Amino acid sequence: MAETVFLVAVGLAAGALLLAGIRFARGPWAVDRTVALDAMTIIATSLIVAFALLAGRRIYLDVALVYGLVGFVGVVAVARYLEGGL
């Protein structure tokens, strides 16, 4: 039962990743792409957590942790550049 829920969560996160990726590839301005990159980071983190629960391996949660931290740093760097400060 729980495995089915995790499988559905992985599928839904894959669909959300596809939609955010389409906006990331098409978005006319760099600001749109930055926001889409942030959304893709969060969606990928949730997908990794669902996959870790599905696979039952604890090290995947560490990858999700690193993912959240590093994606934040990248998006902040891009936003700082767009502001003109970096």
Partner 1 sequence: MMLEIAIIVAGVLMVGIAIATILTRSLLVSVIMSGGVSLLASLVFLLMGAPDVAMTEAVIGSGLTTVVFLYALSRAKQPDDEDAAALASPPGDDTDGGQP
CB closer to partner 1, 1 vs 73: 73
According to the binding rule CB under 8 A, does residue 59 interact with partner 1? Answer: yes
Closest CA to 50 of 65, 64, 69: 64
Regarding 30 and contact with partner 1 (CB under 8 A), the answer is yes
- Measure the CA–CA gap between 85 and 17, rounded to whole angstroms: 30
The answer to whether residue 5 forms part of the interface with partner 1 (CB under 8 A) is no
- 16, 40, 63, 69 from 24: Cα distances, Å: 12, 9, 23, 20
Residues that bind partner 1 (CB under 8 A): 7-8, 10-11, 13-15, 17-18, 21, 24-25, 28-34, 37, 40-41, 44, 47-48, 51, 54, 57, 59-60, 62-63, 66-67, 70-71, 73-74, 77-78, 81-82, 84, 86
